[in-house]
């Protein structure tokens, strides 16, 4: 009788292993039916910021900003009201930086690069570059749902920081 029990255990173990293997293969094959995972579409803009000049030693951060309207120069209330997107800080010391800025679908009338000094209030931001450069008015960028709008490239010039311009200046202090 003991020999009979041993044979049944072996058969049961083999059956369990075969059943488990069959279940695993069925699970694996069923997961492949939809061709696996797909990246989640990003809604926003992308481009490269190219920096001119040396990074100032008192840099707290540099960020890419997007606005629904062009704020009046020096008007912080407009700045906050129209600000619709803010990137993570750009790594300090780089000569160029590829970015993706997630935004809601819509039209953005001003894309800028802002510099902030350490210990200074947020109202002292300096704009060191804009999409379209000195083009007046700047080119608008339209963002569509689930689409990344590429080619929003900006040249940021650190020499603009030291010029005696209003905080939240535009390039070369030009009024918009």
Each residue of 110-131: pLDDT tens digit? 999 999 999 999 999 999 999 9
Tokens of 28: 């694996």
Each residue of 74-89: pLDDT tens digit? 899 999 999 999 999 9
Name the residue among 70, 97, 100 with its Cα closest to residue 87. Answer: 100
Residue 128 in 3-state DSSP?
strand
Contact 96, 111 (CB under 8 A): no
Tokens of 46: 């992308």
Contact 143, 108 (CB under 8 A): yes
- Assign domain 44-173 to a CATH class: mainly beta
Phi/psi at 82 (5° precision): -95, -10
Tokens of 93: 């010391």
Range with the largest mean pLDDT of 3-7, 15-19, 38-42, 55-59: 55-59
Write down the residue that tokens 């999409």 correspond to: 131
Q: Quote the CA–CA distance of 90 and 156 in Å, as a whole number.
A: 12
Confidence of residue 174 (pLDDT cuts 50, 70, 90): very low
Q: Quote the CA–CA distance of 83 and 65 in Å, as a whole number.
A: 7
Residue 152 DSSP class:
-
Name the residue among 62, 69, 121, 119 with its Cα closest to residue 95. Answer: 62
pTM of the model: 0.73
């Amino acid at each position: 009788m003991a020999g009979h029990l041993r044979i049944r255990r072996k058969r049961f173990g083999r059956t369990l292993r075969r059943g488990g293997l069959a279940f695993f293969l069925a699970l694996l094959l069923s997961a492949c039916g939809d061709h696996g995972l797909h990246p989640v579409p990003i809604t926003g803009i992308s481009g490269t910021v190219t920096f001119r000049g040396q990074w100032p030693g008192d840099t707290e951060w540099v960020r890419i900003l997007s606005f629904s309207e062009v704020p009046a120069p020096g008007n912080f209330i407009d700045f906050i009201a129209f600000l619709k997107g803010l990137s993570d800080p750009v790594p300090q010391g780089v000569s160029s930086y590829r970015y993706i800025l997630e935004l809601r679908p819509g039209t953005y009338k001003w894309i800028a690069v802002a510099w902030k000094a350490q210990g200074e209030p947020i109202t002292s931001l300096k704009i060191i570059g804009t999409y379209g450069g000195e083009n007046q008015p700047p080119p608008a960028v339209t963002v569509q749902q689930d689409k990344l709008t590429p080619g929003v490239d900006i040249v940021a010039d650190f020499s603009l920081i030291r010029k005696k311009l209003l905080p939240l200046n535009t390039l070369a202090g030009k009024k918009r």
